[in-house]
Structure 1
Amino acid sequence: MAPAPARLGTRRSTMATTQSRQVADTITARTGVPVELELITSYGDITRAHLTQLGGTGVFVNNLRDELLGGGIDFAVHSLKDLPTAPAAGLTLIAVTERDDPRDALCARDGRKFSDLPAGATVGTGSPRRVAQLAALRPDLSFVPIRGNAETRLGKVTSGELDAVVLAYAGLARVGRLDDVTDVFEAEQVLPAPGQGALAVECLAARAAADLAYLTAVDHGPTRAAVTAERVVLAELEAGCAAPVGAYAECHDGRLRLRAAVVAPDGTRAVRRERSAALTQDTDPVDTAASLGRELAREMIGEGADRIVADAAGGAA
């Protein structure tokens, strides 16, 4: 008798269902456990308010978490950058998938690169992090807050409503829209959101070590270490998903390199720092990553990064 399918909770958008199906297929391929998708509408999907008005944190994941706690689904898949850094009572992050390309991408009319956009060009993005870092590079551009799925945002460019939009490269790849990309921002230009490009698998803590242990088959150790460092920076700064904070960590040649930036919304003030730590066989990489994130965040706080975050939050309120 075939096992009953596991119930994977996902948001209803094309991007969410596509990435959840990828995780489901990988789980089945590696463990033999069949998985079916349960489509759930989040508050972030139905409200017309901008992310800064919502506070960002949790608006795309709370309904999924309610379903987990209520037993309606067995596990949920989230874009890790949408997941609050504070732990949720009764739940655990059982797996972090191998990260896709974490960079931000520009999709502009007439195939233009970022440097080719004329002064005053309108660039759409719902992310204060992107606005702050892009404004630091090009203060002559006009940044416009937008909502909607990738297709809706791209449509604002093709219709002529906007000159360009900025989206996550990984998300565009998942929905097959890489042909719309006209430029890609390297981390030296624009640091991605903590966790960008990675997917989080969340389940009930009480079931993690028992009947859901098979979910660890999609956990990727180097990615988990990297995103742990990034998310600890965000947590130490007491900043939410909508804060102007970029962070990116990489595991390479036995070391974990972490870069972070906190930039004022108008791009005029910034605290940017970098640290690295050795990944040794006698220490847990996640513990090393967490310590690295705390050290870097505290250094940045000493230079006023927390005040930039607080001022940005006050301006958005």
Structure 2
Amino acid sequence: MSTQSHTAAPIRLGTRRSALAQAQSGHVAAALEKISGRPVELVPITSEGDTNRASLSEIGGQGIFATRLREALLAGECDILVHSLKDLPTTIPEGLVIAATPVREDARDVAITRGGTPLHELRTGSKVGTGSPRRIAQVHRRAPHAEVVDIRGNVDSRLQRVASGELDAVILAAAGLSRLGTDSPLRREELGLSEWPTAPGQGSLAVETRSDAPAELLAALAELDDHDTRLAITVERGILEGLDSGCQAPMAAHAVVDGDEIRVRTVVYSTDGGRRIGLDVTETLNGEYIRRNGSGNGADAAGGADPMRTAREFGLSVAHRLLEQGAADLVSREHSSS
């Protein structure tokens, strides 16, 4: 395949092999083909997260799906990657850039049951499946009499464990279900973001490429980028980054851009769900928070405002407030008793 003829050369999109990863990569591929006028081909890559069956809470969810894909991108095996943003560590490796964050899908979690019993009404001893430390803590709070079962596996296998009666409920991301177009007789309970905030970046995709990618590829990817989505996830990831060094407890953060304001809801939980520290903060997107190419307080030496840098700093300041309120202490009891 010659990369000389830019008009015809396919754009190679690296993706995990799971049905969900291929589905969400397919959505991006279709949009990019329209913008660029070039075919986009999927390059399936096996990540550690796809082969290591250990619990996510043991091996650490962050990065296990991304590392192998990023190695392939840096080695030139593909031209772009599509990630679920919530799986990406906050540090972007040297030589790579998140070139687009398309419009965010539904950021909520859903509880899936056979009969539609709400999570908080599940009987004592009911089995609820999830492998996420955040969701485990939230289930403990919402359904304290239920038993949490640590599970891995793709969406279909999780749904099957509910359908078969092995589990009474599983917690899944709404965005994943809609991207897969899953048609199931099982019942869904949407979990509201005010009481059940989700992981930083949940519902969002990140399109990553090399910093030295051809200008026309970067320009095509820029057309996929949604400014408000990027602002919101930059705040959320700023909170995660700020907590990372000071707090290993399960956490959630969800930000929304509404007119000239950005609102963020963030909670840090103890691992058993018994305690939590939460903040709701609203910032105005003017002055420091200039959205596009304005000048003023947010202007820096590069000329023009950098709203993303300011959004990250806002997230870091929220994390600092959480730590001041004792967020890092939420795991200390569990760690000292082990």
TM-fit CA distance, 1:311: 6.3
Specify the alignment match of 1:278 in structure 2.
284
Output aligned runs, 1:121-270, within 5 Å. Answer: 121-177=126-182, 179=184, 180-207=186-213, 209=215, 211-238=217-244, 244-270=250-276
> Unpaired segments of 5 or more residues in structure 2?
295-304
* Contact in 2 for aligned 1:277/1:288 (Cα 8 Å): no
Is residue 2:48 matched to residue 1:48?
no
Q: Which amino acid is 1:90 matched to?
A: G
Is residue 2:295 matched to residue 1:289?
no
Higher-RCO chain (CA-CA 8 Å, sequence separation at least 6): 1
TM-fit CA distance, 1:307: 2.8
CA distance in 2, matches of 1:177, 1:239: 38
TM-fit CA distance, 1:186: 0.4
TM-fit CA distance, 1:211: 4.3
Specify the alignment match of 2:17 in structure 1.
12
SS of corresponding position for 1:260: strand
The size of the alignment, in residue pairs, is 315
CA distance in 2, matches of 1:272, 1:266: 16
TM-score by structure 2 length? 0.88
SS of corresponding position for 2:277: strand
CA distance in 1, matches of 2:190, 2:328: 29
* Contact in 1 for aligned 2:249/2:330 (Cα 8 Å): no
> Per-residue CA shift, 1:126-155, capped at 9, x if unaligned?
111011122122211111110000001111
* Contact in 1 for aligned 2:47/2:68 (Cα 8 Å): yes
TM-fit CA distance, 1:308: 2.4
SS of corresponding position for 1:212: helix
SS of corresponding position for 2:158: helix
**Could you say which structure has the higher helix fraction?**
1
* Contact in 2 for aligned 1:134/1:190 (Cα 8 Å): no
TM-score by structure 1 length? 0.94
RMSD: 2.1
Tell me which structure has the larger Cα radius of gyration.
2
Q: Which amino acid is 2:237 matched to?
A: R
Q: Which amino acid is 1:77 matched to?
A: V
CA distance in 1, matches of 2:64, 2:333: 22
TM-fit CA distance, 1:265: 1.5
Identical columns (%):
42
TM-fit CA distance, 1:122: 0.6
TM-fit CA distance, 1:210: 5.7
> Unpaired segments of 5 or more residues in structure 1?
none
* Contact in 2 for aligned 1:107/1:181 (Cα 8 Å): yes
Moved over 6 A (4+): none
